[in-house]
Structure 1
Amino acid sequence: MKNILYQAYYIGVAHWESLKDFTAEVRYFMLTAMLLILLSTILIMVLYLRRLYLLSREKKEKELKFRFQYFIYDALVESSKQEVLSSTDLIVNKFKRHELNSSLEKQLMIDLMIELKKSFSGNSKKQFQHLYLCLGLHHESIAKLSSRNISEKIKGVRELSEIGYNCAELEIAFKEWQTSPYTLLADEVKIAAIRSGSVHMLSFLTQQKEPLSDWLQIQIRYHLKALPDEKVPAFLHWLNVQEYSSIKLVLEMIAIYKQEDAIEYITPILHHADDAIKIEAVKALESLEARKQTGAIFNLLDTDNEVLKIKAIHAIGELGYAFHANLLRPLLFQHSPEVRKAAEQAIVIIQSKSSFHKVLAKPHRSSL
């Protein structure tokens, strides 16, 4: 690179005298062109050197990852042959002889622990979490939470939650960052709080004003369903939220987890100003088999919203008692063919269930 710069310098000096024969405008244009060529050359060299650096780093990462995997595999095999030390102790001893000095080595080891933890289950899964702590890697992840770099904060939150290490610093992040103006950080913290089973999970819903993105809704549903039953929250605490995608999510989760305690809190939502939210409330009550709320659902039949009316009719068909079939008969004369069809189907369902219950209640001759 130095040779290129020297050549450019001597060429410029050598032709300096000849440039005097041209007008000022031409000299300015030629000097500008030479400067652009020089800057382009420097830029190409910088990009080339960066490419070499990235290739070298990638090669080093592969070598380190292979070495770390070998240490862990070797320790797992060795521990199966003896009962003196656990595989975790053997791995820790091996790494004490090959200390993790650079930040690259520590980061690779953190990534490897998370990757292995996801690949195993039971005691083996906990083993990698214990190894992460024994090697002091949690200090690296916690330090990232204090970084000014948003990407580092995100990485720290993700590492701690995926490895399953709940600490005070992480709980503070769950409490304060779910409503961060930085969307990427806020979304990562929302997901991590659920993944960790934190008491602060879903706390952002009370302040949610904008619709939840499709990606975030998918992630929230996925991680909620992955939680053990004892960590699933009581969703009725968020039934007062006003934003449609949020209340829809809450009602859906109540239905999935059959949280019948929420029924009395769902019923008032049938009077919500938004018909779309009323529909979600009807779906939840139907899923919870809340037969006692059939009367409240019946009041929705006065609506001009045909979609809501049809959904209410279907719910009444699933939940209603025998006398509800007679109450639905006037709908058979509605102008809308969809409403008439829904009413007819609901009546048939109610009557079939009523007949079935009568058969069950009738005593057999053998019992007389």
Structure 2
Amino acid sequence: METLNNYPLLIQVTGIVTLSAGMMIIITLTVLYVNRLRVKKREQDFQEAELIILDELNNHILKYNAITEIPSNELRTTVVRLNALQNKNIIFKQSLVKLLVYFKLNLTGAITRIISSTYSRLKLREFTLGKLKSKFWFVKTQGLTEVQEMRDNHSIPAVATLVQDQNEDVRVAAYSALLKLNSKTPFSFLSEEKDELSEWHQILLIDTITKAEGLELPEFKVYLGTDNKSILLLCIKLIIHYQQFDAVPKLLSMLDHEDEYIRNQVICALGMLNAETAEQRLINQYPLESNKNKSQILETLGKIASGFSVEFIKDKFLKAEHFSLLKSAAAAIVSHPIQLKEMILNSFTELDDEQKAVLKHYQEPLNLYGIH
């Protein structure tokens, strides 16, 4: 330090900063290394715990076809051993839940009842429900996933409390759990959710709804009056998936919606529902829309392909003001039934090279099946 004092102040400051930075780098690297070792050790502990529990389950539980087939002494001693393991530490308890959830998801028949009985006898439900009260959102979502995968209907009241959670991931996980568990009002979130759900969360909810067993579906048109854009889009997708044709009049009224993307999805839905009654309204709507929505209208008319809009589509093809409209009109023409398509194509007497090329492109085998 005395030697350092012999140097100018700037050099002294530079030396102290360099030394401090070096120490910080060493400390940071040490912390990263220690954390990495801890993570690796934890992973190894989980693997060892899973192997021990898996061996116990395979040898004394899963080899039977029904819980009544397990000798009472063996069942009692097995439950005692598994209890001892889960009480050993949190790693064994979480590993036990993880394995039971895995088997519940991937096995069928009577064996799933054995898994549910084991879950109940070991009082793991209380452990899972404890996660729903955690202050960490990811722990709550883990607990919600475990509840729904174990089909724990007794936990519906606890799950329902999380639909008001401030975290969107937790709310969506709670919605999914209530849908999977087939609660009394599993679709109430469609009218109660105030925040915009991300597209990923919409996909998760659609996946849950379409895969849930014994779910009584509502008429999703009822929820099309909401101000929540994400819920609107979700309901439109569900109307398409379940082919709820009685929603067509409500969808037609939504062509006046102020949001361009909502109108785009409504136009698409009308095509997917083959709504012939919508054709004239779509034709009237055409000049009011952007090029993107105009293209969607042409493609929708092509999907419906009743013959009513042939002259309109031909006119837009011949007088296309933008290449995207030319492509959509060509796709719409080719989408018509063979006889009608041939009649349209034969009616063209003078086409320029670009029009011919686009028509040829959409008549290629792959493009005929929508692979553009």
- TM-score, normalised to structure 2, is 0.69
Amino acid at match of 1:162: E
| CA separation of 1:92 and 1:200: change in aligned 2, threshold 3 A | farther
Question: Structure 1 counterpart of 2:78, which letter?
Answer: K
Provide the residue aligned with 1:250 in structure 2.
Answer: 235
1:47 and 1:347 map into 2 onto residues whose CA distance is: 62
1:173-192 alignment, distance < 5 Å = 173-177=161-165, 180=166, 182-192=167-177
Number of residue equivalences: 331
Per the alignment, do residues 72 and 298 of structure 1 end up closer, same or farther by CA in structure 2, a change over 3 Å counting? same
Q: Which residue of 2 aligns with 1:118?
A: 105
Paired AA for residue 321 in structure 2: S
Closer, same or farther in 2 for the Cα pair 1:214/1:293, shift >3 Å? closer
Of 64, 79, 101, 1:95 maps to 79
Change in Cα spacing, 1:126 to 1:270, as seen in structure 2 (3 Å) is farther
Code of the residue aligned with 2:251 in structure 1: it is I
Aligned to 1:130, the other structure's residue is in SS state helix
Q: Which runs of 5+ in 2 are unaligned?
A: 6-12, 14-19, 344-372
SS at match of 1:230: coil
Is contact 1:314-1:346 (8 Å) kept? Answer: yes
Q: Distance in 1 between matches of 2:341 and 2:298?
A: 17
2:125 maps to which of 124, 138, 152: 138
How many percent identity over aligned positions?
A: 19
Q: Take 1:330 and 1:71, find their aligned partners in 2: how far apart are those partners?
A: 74
Pick aligned residue for 2:301 from 303, 306, 316? 316
Q: Secondary structure at 1:79's aligned position in 2?
A: coil
Change (3 A) 1:283 1:85: same
Distance in 1 between residues matched to 2:217 and 2:148, nearest whole Å: 16
1:268 aligns with 2:253: yes
Alignment partner of 1:65 is 2:50: yes
Deviation at 1:252, TM superposition (A): 1.8
Q: Distance in 2 between matches of 1:118 and 1:46?
A: 38
The answer to whether the Cα contact below 8 Å between 1:191 and 1:223 also exists between their aligned partners in 2 is yes
Question: What are the residue-to-residue correspondences of 1:187-202 with 2, within 5 Å?
Answer: 187-198=172-183, 199-201=185-187
Q: Comparing 154-163 with 227-236, which one deviates more in the overlay? A: 227-236
Match of 2:116 in 1: 129
Which of 91, 95, 112 aligns to 1:108? It is: 95
Q: Residue 266 of structure 2 is aligned with which of 258, 264, 281?
A: 281
Is 1:170–2:155 an aligned residue pair? Answer: no
Cα RMSD between the aligned structures? 4.6
Letter matched to residue 47 of structure 2: K
Alpha-carbon distance in 1 for matches of 2:24, 2:212: 56
Q: Deviations over 1:5-45 (max 9, x none)?
A: xxxxxxxxxxxxxx99x99xxxxx9xxxxx99999999999
* SS of corresponding position for 2:64: helix
Distance 1:217 1:244 in 2: 11
CA contact (8 A) 2:162 2:171 kept: no
1:298 aligns with 2:283: yes
